[in-house]
Chains A and B, each alone.
Chain A
Amino acid sequence: GESVGLHLPTLSVQEGDNSIINCAYSNSASDYFIWYKQESGKGPQFIIDIRSNMDKRQGQRVTVLLNKTVKHLSLQIAATQPGDSAVYFCAENPRTDKLIFGTGTRLQVFP
């Protein structure tokens, strides 16, 4: 049968809507966080990062929010486009120079 790992959390949005992808991280010592985008057949691609001394950082159409109290990270994508369809991973660095990746969320954009 299928592995549980195949059942990625999936977010389906209509083109033009805003997307919010959430991530819970595990280590309270983590001081650096990154969001990566992975399209089918490709390696993860850097989107945006944030350090623990910040709670919000904005890029082009993307915003990352960090809530250290509840160890929660979110990625907001404004005006979602078909090209945004991919799997999105959050990654944390627990002060060990080793990035630890989350499970990932699949974003599907419908016209």
Chain B
Amino acid sequence: EAGVVQSPRYKIIEKKQPVAFWCNPISGHNTLYWYRQNLGQGPELLIRYENEEAVDDSQLPKDRFSAERLKGVDSTLKIQPAELGDSAVYLCASSPGANVLTFGAGSRLTVL
């Protein structure tokens, strides 16, 4: 089993540029999460999907962040335009229900 797959692993962009991250969850996992992890801190939830429905996006900065999970499988997280403070690791996780999340390796974003 491949686990949760994320790409790209690393991305360096200049501020005001757009960026997108992709996540392929574990097969059969209906719940998908996007977390942001700042350096030296624990992950913070951005958005949670149950199948294709975003059931918790209260922490997603909607002015510049967007996410989609059109067919209830893969998901993309987009930032447009990126700001310096967006530099972080963006983690995708999936679970078959609640609680025990399996995380991907993350996408490290550096905004210059």
A: residues with CB less than 8 A from B are 3, 5-8, 32, 34, 36, 41-46, 49, 89, 91, 93, 97-104
Cβ of B65 to closest chain A Cβ, rounded Å: 17
Interface size band for B: 20 to 34
Give which listed residue, A5, A34, A46, A100, contacts B40 with CB less than 8 A: A5
A43-B93, A43-B106, A44-B91 known; A99-B101 Cβ under 8 A = yes
Contact A43 B99 (CB under 8 A): no
Tally inter-chain residue pairs, CB-CB below 8 A.
60
Which residues does chain A contribute within 8 Å of B39, judged by CB atoms? Answer: 3, 5-6
Interface status of B14 (Cβ within 8 A of chain A):
no
A41-B105, A43-B105 known; A7-B40 Cβ under 8 A = yes
> 0/1 per residue, B78-97, Cβ < 8 Å to A?
00000000000001010000
